[in-house]
Amino acid sequence: MQSQSRGAVRAGRPGPLVPMLLIGALIGLGLAKPAHAVEEASCRTVRLSDIGWTDVTATTALVSTLLRDLGYEPQVTVLSVPVTYASMKNQDIDVFLGNWMPTMDGDRRPFIADGSVEVVGANLVGAKYTLGVPAYTYDAGPKDFADIQRFAAALNHSIYGIEPGNDGNGLILSIIAHNQFNLGSFKLIESSEQGMLAVVERAIRTHSPIVFLAWDPHPMNMRDEAWFYVADNDVFPETFINFLAFDDAQRAAFMRVHGEILGAGFWRHVQQRLGEGELLEVLPYQPHRVRVASSA
């Protein structure tokens, strides 16, 4: 299971009140004056990206309402995650409220590094995503990742994901490619959030078994036939950070220096190198700072 937080990021040079406005809307601070009282008309338009995920769409709609009440003119554009960050760098988008972390760390890292994107703060903590199954599928047998392959025929050797390029899809593809949990015979069916959920809805209506990429919070968790998550597994490397005893400053330093080890790509590369017969040596310090004891 993958523990997540979701937050807001903004382009590096928005209008002067936009950062404080969003911090106020998302973290609970108040603003005394409407935008038109202190800003020119050219500063009133706030361009937001919506990546089409239900939670992000809802948050974006809520903040858009708050912006209007404060005298701003929100403009929402539906974009993919990579295009969102590129658009912020190009100053075509001001704010993105669906920054799921640590999942999107690889997407946003170069833009944070060059200063074109800045983190405003978290607007949701304790979120998670992993593989999920409906309650009746869970009751029938699959209790963890290793159980899934026992039901391969009933599942049509399929796991359902969302849009291509999503990091969650990438992690599932890595599981399949490396035959982890004997899932090498499975295929990932990619579509979109709504496309995947439509398939899940059809499966639930007919009580057909299905395994899919699931997350919380999501409105579907409120339905009578809620899904259950399969058991925890160290497949999603983003989970590592939750087991490290860091304060906020240490966590930020770790993410800045070693954040790549929380991404699936890093570990896929390690697996590739090991598969090619390379013996990897990982030193805690730079070689010139390591003192090796003499055997004499």
- Using an 8 Å Cβ cutoff, are 175 and 227 in contact? no
Residue 145 predicted with pLDDT over 80: yes
**Long-range contacts, 261-269 (Cβ 8 Å, 24+):** 261/237, 262/102, 262/105, 262/237, 262/238, 263/102, 263/105, 263/106, 263/167, 263/237, 263/238, 264/167, 264/170, 264/171, 264/174, 264/236, 264/237, 265/106, 265/170, 266/237, 267/174, 267/237, 268/174
**CA nearest to 101, candidates 81, 79, 77, 74:** 81
Question: What is the model's pLDDT at position 211?
Answer: 93
pLDDT at residue number 277: 83
- Residue with the larger pLDDT of the pair 6 and 98: 98
> Over the stretch 148-204, which tens digit does the pLDDT of each residue have?
999 999 999 999 999 887 777 888 898 899 898 899 999 999 998 889 999 998 998
**SS3 for 166-192, per residue?**
CHHHHHHHHHHHCCHHHCCCCEEECCC
Taking the C-alpha atoms of residue 240 and residue 244, their distance in angstroms, rounded to an integer, is 7
Report the half-sphere exposure of 108 (CA within 13 A, side-chain side): 27
- Asked if residue 180 lies in contact with residue 149, where contact means CB atoms within 8 angstroms, the answer is no
Grade residue 235 by pLDDT with cuts at 50, 70 and 90.
low
Give the end-to-end CA distance of the chain in Å, rounded to a whole number. Answer: 48
Tell me, what's the pLDDT at 70? Answer: 81
Q: Which two tokens stand for residue 44?
A: 């009133």
- pLDDT of the residue at 34: 47
pLDDT at 80: 86
- Residue 234 is predicted with a pLDDT of 45
Average pLDDT value for the chain: 76
The pLDDT of residue 293 is above 70: no
Residue with tokens 């040596």: 281
Question: Which has the higher per-residue pLDDT, 126 or 92?
Answer: 92
- Each residue's pLDDT tens digit, 22-70: 545 444 433 334 444 455 666 788 899 998 888 888 888 888 888 888 8
Provide the token pair at 19: 């950062």
- Rounded Cα–Cα distance for residues 31 and 39 (Å): 14
Tell me the mean pLDDT in the region 124-137.
79
DSSP string, 108-140: HHHHHHTTSEEEEEEEEEEEEEEEEEEHHHHHH
Q: How far is CA 84 from CA 117, 138, 167, in A?
A: 11, 36, 15
> What percentage of the chain carries pLDDT values higher than 70?
69
Contact 16, 39 (CB under 8 A): yes
Q: For residue 189, what are its two tokens?
A: 């069916």
Q: Quick check: 218 pLDDT over 60?
A: yes
Tokens of 232: 């925890």
Q: How many CB atoms lie within 10 A of CB 43?
A: 16
Domain boundaries, the chain: 2-124
Model-level pTM? 0.61
User: What does the pLDDT read at residue 294?
Assistant: 46
Instruction: Give whole-number Cα distances, 93 to 58, 74, 75, 137, in Å.
Output: 18, 11, 9, 42
Q: Output the pLDDT for position 31.
A: 38
Cα angle 203-5-214, degrees, rounded to a multiple of 5: 10
d(CA 193, CA 214): 10
Higher pLDDT, 122 or 237: 122
How many helices (H) and strands (E) are present in the chain, helices listed first? 10, 9
Structural fold of domain 2-124? D-Maltodextrin-Binding Protein; domain 2 (3.40.190)
| Nearest C-alpha neighbor of 11 from the set 102, 115, 105 | 115
List, for residues 250-291, the tens digit of each pLDDT value. Answer: 878 888 887 777 765 676 677 778 778 887 766 555 555 545
